Amino acid sequence: GVNAPTSQSLLNYILLALVYGGIMIYKRQLLTVKWYYYLILSIVDVEANYIVVKAYQYTSLTSVMLLDCWAIPCVLFLTWIFLKTKYGLRKLFGVGICVAGVVLVVFSDVHASERKSKGPSPLKGDMLVIAGATLYAVSNVTEEYIVKKSSRIEVMAMLGVFGAIISGIQISILEREELRST
């Protein structure tokens, strides 16, 4: 019964910061990408996690899991636009099937009012998942872009550091009362 979406992700960011940050410190590796790019990446990633976890309050687990796959066509589109990746017809056909599935799930949830098993506001939950999955796609493509300019260790370390800081701030603002009452 606890409603604390950001708190559920905080440990992940702390562990990323400790493990990959420890590797960076051990190797005495300096940042090759400006810190504010990592800050922006972390904001997008933390908010994507927050929105998707928040969606569980409004719609069914099945809808969240299926609609989270919306990130796949978004990633393909963003990598095609920004990273100039080329895709064949089979991949594009797969994306079409994915988009059709998303439409069918949302349509099903619009008509879920007759059934009580879906959640209090299935359409709101679906829109939250689609927004979160889109942010996941932005985060993933940005990570891929930054990794090409630096290293995976640096990206994970900085995502962990800034993600933990942003999560901590967000918890203190949005989830303080919820956590106190438990």
Q: Find all residues with CB under 8 Å of 158, minimum gap 6, and list them.
A: 31, 33, 35, 38, 41, 42
| Residue 114 pLDDT exceeds 90 | no
What is residue 40's predicted lDDT score, i.e. its pLDDT? Answer: 97
pLDDT confidence of 98, banded at 50, 70, 90? confident
Contact call for residues 114 and 97 (beta carbons, < 8 A):
no
- Tell me: the pLDDT tens digits for 39-97? 999 999 999 999 999 998 888 888 888 888 899 999 999 999 999 999 999 988 988 99
| Residue 112 pLDDT exceeds 80 | no
The CA distance from 137 to 75, in Å, is 5
What is the rounded average pLDDT of the residues 14-23? 97
| Residue 118 pLDDT exceeds 80 | no
The CA distance from 153 to 22, in Å, is 10
pLDDT confidence of 117, banded at 50, 70, 90? low
The CA distance from 102 to 55, in Å, is 15
What is residue 182's predicted lDDT score, i.e. its pLDDT? Answer: 63
